[in-house]
Amino acid sequence: NAGVMQNPRHLVRRRGQEARLRCSPMKGHSHVYWYRQLPEEGLKFMVYLQKENIIDESGMPKERFSAEFPKEGPSILRIQQVVRGDSAAYFCASSPQGGPVNTEAFFGQGTRLTVV
Amino acid sequence: GENVEQHPSTLSVQEGDSAVIKCTYSDSASNYFPWYKQELGKRPQLIIDIRSNVGEKKDQRIAVTLNKTAKHFSLHITETQPEDSAVYFCAASKNNNDMRFGAGTRLTVKP
């Protein structure tokens, strides 16, 4: 099991470009969370998805940001028209389908987005 | 959804002293409380967890306590060492659904 895979690890974009961040959850995991982390700060919740469904996007800015988790393929966090303030590390985490036995969520290595 | 508050945001202790980090949660149905450690430049990783059917769990120098009535749980690190310096996150979830994290505590252990 390869664990949670995020790519790219580092992404540089000019202001106004689009950034696409990918997260492949662990095998068998159907829940994905996206978090943003600014330097020297904690994790800020952005969005919680299950396969083909957005469960909670209350932490995600309503403009320019979108997320999806299709039936097939990775979860995508998309940031349109990036600005310098979008520079941060973006982590995704995955966990198994809900059920009576709780298990931990596993994090990917993160994508460090730099907007120049 | 669940809301998790974590305090303090930063904590500095002398090597050998104890460190305590506290979290509160809002959803009384939450039943799983993991703690993660994030070293500089790395991903958060699980260090210990507790389920709602127990009040305390220990693993060497690390212990977690849970008070379901008050809806708070704490991480205790005894005999701290410089390598304990990291950012620690608490989290809460309910039946593997909707795991929410606290904002994190930056722990610095001074030699």
Q: Is residue A99 over pLDDT 70? A: no
Taking the CA of residue A25 and the nearest CA in chain B, the distance in Å comes to: 14
Cβ–Cβ < 8 Å for B47, B37: yes
Q: What average pLDDT score do residues B52-57 get?
A: 88
- What are the structure tokens assigned to A29, written together? 């995991």
Q: Which of B89, B96, B101 sits opposite A102 (nearest CB)?
A: B96
Instruction: State pLDDT tens for residues A32-73.
Output: 999 999 887 788 889 999 999 999 998 999 999 999 999 999
Percent above pLDDT 70 for chain B: 99
A contact test, residue of B11, B42, B54, B101 with most A CBs within 10 A: B101
Q: CB count, 10 Å around CB of A94?
A: 25
Q: Does B34 touch chain A (CB under 8 A)?
A: yes
Determine which of A65-79, A81-95, B43-57 has the lowest per-residue pLDDT on average.
B43-57
Which chain B residue is nearest to residue A105, measuring alpha carbons? B99
Q: What average pLDDT score do residues B73-100 get?
A: 92
- Rounded to whole angstroms, the Cα distance separating B35 from A97 reads 20
Q: What average pLDDT score do residues B83-90 get?
A: 96
Taking the CA of residue A110 and the nearest CA in chain B, the distance in Å comes to: 7
Q: Is residue A1 over pLDDT 70? A: no
